[in-house]
Structure 1
Amino acid sequence: MKLSFVVPVYNAEKYLDNCIGSLYRQNLQENDFEIICVNDGSKDGSLEVLKRWQALHNNLVIINQENGGVSKARNAGICAASGQYIRFIDSDDYIADGVTYDAVNIAIDNKLDILYTSTLATNREDEYKPRFSECNRNTKILCGKDYFVNNNTPNGVWEFFISRDFIVRNNLKFEEDRICEDGMFMVSSLSLSQRVSKCNVDYYRYIQRPNSITTRKDLKHMQKTADDFAYAIEYINNVIISEKQANDNVEYINKLVQRRNSYFFYFQIRAIKACFSRNQIKSYLKKFRLDGCYPNSGLTKDYYFTHKLLSKLFQFEWLYLLICNGYKVIQKFEKRE
């Protein structure tokens, strides 16, 4: 079997028909791929939708588990997968019509560990037609570290096909119960991979929704998000330390530092919105200082000017603490109104 689509499902009843329907509108025979849907304790009608699709297709597998989060669902999908390659699909997203055959065969023919494709961020659920159909088979193959250095590598795991054998050999898993799990998985994967490439196929449709895990704004969620970013910073920093000890690719280390610094900026933004106490924030910053993560060089030129400016200002602890306190004062006044 060529391909396993792994689809974590949690309360996605409204989106599943569009998502799964797009997977069946590919130019693949059904015995060449499988769809593994991991129902992560959904409380709506998601399971009924999955069963309806399963009744129509022999290659759709349903795994039911108690709610454990997207990482646990993806890990369960990896364990169940039998395809040569795995493609992770979020249940509220979809893929363009007829774009899989060339891409997955390029990965197979070139024995790639990872193959990147193109993604369109959209708020529409009907952009099925590919914007372009070029798929260059003269693939430039790099090791993962060189690919990371020479490309603007996104964090999302929906961006690429990944070899199941590569995952198993390297015991790659998603960090469970953590936001930023995609970025950590991506860093680990690229650090270990020897054959990475990209084909110019218009593949994925990413839809950002108001109540998604990345856009929720309640205080408890914001506090967990900040803590998860802190965990991801430490995770990437440990990779940097390992690379330095191995006296490895300097350009790769510098690119990792840039990625860590971007995580650090978004940690600081979320820590402001999380309304942590002054002592909590100082405790975070003290640990980052001891780990050599703070202060840092800030964001690169690729970011918005306002983000770069804030990142520079946040390097001054006294000023950052002042900003945190000011935000809490403003929140108190808004609640009174």
Structure 2
Amino acid sequence: MDLEKLHAFLVLTNTGSFTRAADELFISQPALSKQIQSLENELKVPLFNRTKKHSSLTIYGEYLRPYASNILANYRNAREHIRQIERLDEGSLRFGATNFIGVYLLPPCLAAFHKHCPGITLDMTINSSRKLIQMLENYELEFILLSDYISIDEERYIVEPWQADTLYVTVAPSHPLGQRASIRTTELNREVFIIKDRSSSIYKFLHQKLVPFGLSLERPLFISHQEAIKQATMHGIGISILPEKSIILEKAAGLLCTIALDETALTRNIVIVREKERHLTPAAQEFLTLLRRMNFKP
């Protein structure tokens, strides 16, 4: 079994079409068919249900898929480790972060690392915590950065605190609450509350923290992207709860105000998550060393 066949198998799995997969692989459709048939002959099972317009995985293909992903990811990581052993002047580093962390906290770290190791290509994935954990499990990323209220299997992963983060009730200065220094949680129920949907980790975090103090979210406005939530708040549509570090520029410009809650402080830790049994590449080790040194200050 060679890696080229496994790669072709995964591309076909993702596209569901021999035509699209061949285009993505820059090979002819007969060449792709030959690779897949060779892999099936080697394993002695059919991997795809074939029709004229679509291909779907058989049960054998479903079982092969995670193993193929891991084999290719492990090979890629081994290759990167070998390339970087002598010096950090070539190679790549793949890691992930949730939206707030990737957009507001990591850019200074990326700039510092690029200056220190300009030959290393950085590949940062910004996605949901659920997707990032899945990518880490599949060895597609070397480490990820999440909020500490995300459930992590600490028998499998090392969870290392990086820095603290505080969230505040946020409103436009023109909002009736704009001049308040603090507010009771129950007062939020009268307002349009702009927040990510109920399946999001931030919704679950706020629900857990504030429902005991009377939050009922009677007038929610669901928006899936944090920057859009911030823009809607600035335009006076309603209130939101946002990380302080995501609105530094807007507060300085007088576009947003923050209000503390009377009953509790909304604090969380940003954590670095990596697998215990996995050897990090030298580039990943160097980047984590830099993260530990850098302390984000507003």
Q: TM-score, normalised by structure 2?
A: 0.31
Pick the structure with more strand per residue: 2
Q: Which has the higher contact order (CA 8 A, sep 6+)?
A: 2
Q: TM-score, normalised by structure 1?
A: 0.28
Structure of larger gyration radius: 2
